[in-house]
Amino acid sequence: MSKKAIITGITGQDGFYLSDLLLKQNIQVIGIKRRTSLINSTARIDSLINNNNFSVVQGDLSDSFFLNNLINQNKPDYIFNLAAMSHVKTSFDIPIHTGDINAIGTIRLLDAIRTNNLSNKTRFYQASTSEMFGNNSKKKLNEQSKLEPVSPYGASKLYAYNITKIYRQSYNIFACNGILFNHESPLRGETFVTRKIVRGAVSIVKNKSSFIELGNLNSVRDWGHAKDYCEAMIKIIMYKKPDDFVISSDKVFSVREFCKKVFNYLGLEIKFVGKGLNEVAIVTKSEKYPHLINKKIIKVNKKYFRPLDLNYLRGNSAKAKKILKWKPKINIDQLVSEMINYDLDLID
């Protein structure tokens, strides 16, 4: 009899990559999706729908009764809690909802494991985040680094991280945290900065738009590929004992550098001029798109700045590499090319 996994947040990019990897291991996947009026809300996972080991149920992390029933009926071997209100800027606008889903939603799942007497059967994975570290200076961050979040999103995730550890220690639940740094893919949501840059750049070269508006170009991030990081999730939950692991590429690039990589791949050299809100990117050279030379294709708009920004995040995944034998396979240039080629096909 195959093992069974419940995945919250099934319709996100991680939901797809994780489901695909689990199904290839003959693990039955039950995904939870929240109700939405969007017709294509399951677009990322549509290719999995015909798999007999894959199913999706409608539910919400705010509903304790639903979660308790689902877990009691299925008695899963694994629960991956990927669902979250995950846009950092938006978490400042809806902090109470962010806390209810990200923080209290996690305890609802953990307590369902406890109250259904599944502590000896069900393993729990919590999708923690590098945003918990806050502005922790320009150093590589590992499992011992100080956690001082600077957003409602980061704070809610820190609660979830801590309650996962508390349930592990108090009730002997196999509960573990993956502290994942930024991970991207062609399936990344369009409001996240990497996908926004890629889609914007492709739209510019296809004459669908004339420029991209961004926030803090100085933000430095540790970017990896979602598929690599989902492989790490499986290694974490299947390890011989519950533990917490930083998952990162250990390399960093600024938003400005990411922009240059994207436009260079498309055949445009760009130069940033000006400072602060007046900074712009201008095309300086392009054999493929000469009509764009001297055009301003990136502008800064203050509405995309967070009330309290996180300027630098770099991970140290040495523990995962040593204990889990995990390491990223896809570098940032491969990630950029995959994202661009996806949107080149998508945007007419």
pLDDT digits (tens, 9 = 90+) for 234-253: 999 999 999 999 999 999 99
* Average pLDDT of the chain, as a whole number: 95
pLDDT tens track for 280-306: 999 999 999 999 999 999 999 999 887
What is the pLDDT at residue 25?
A: 97
CA-wise closest residue to 66 among 108, 114, 97, 4: 108
- 177 and 304 inside one domain: no
> d(Cα 81, Cα 12) in Å, to the nearest integer?
12
Which residues carry out catalysis?
129, 131, 153
What is the pLDDT at residue 50?
A: 87
- 229 and 300 inside one domain: no
Neighbours of 110 (CB within 10 A): 25
At 37, the pLDDT band (50, 70, 90 cuts) reads very low
* Total of domains in the chain: 2
Is there a domain that residue 66 lies in? Answer: yes
Is there a domain that residue 170 lies in? Answer: yes
> d(Cα 189, Cα 191) in Å, to the nearest integer?
6
- 106 and 124 inside one domain: yes
- 23 and 65 inside one domain: yes
Is there a domain that residue 86 lies in? Answer: yes
Give the CA distances from residue 183 to residues 28, 193, 297, in Å, rounded to whole numbers and listed in that order: 25, 11, 25
What is the pLDDT at residue 10?
A: 96
Domain harbouring 304, CATH code: 3.90.25.10
What is the pLDDT at residue 74?
A: 97
Neighbours of 233 (CB within 10 A): 26
- 9 and 41 inside one domain: yes
Mean pLDDT value of segment 106-121? 97
At 33, the pLDDT band (50, 70, 90 cuts) reads very high
* Of 6-20, 27-41, 175-189, 325-339, the least confident: 27-41
Using the structure block, give the residue that is written with the tokens 């996962």.
Answer: 164
User: Which pTM was predicted?
Assistant: 0.94
Domain interval for residue 28: 4-185+223-251+312-329
What is the pLDDT at residue 239?
A: 98
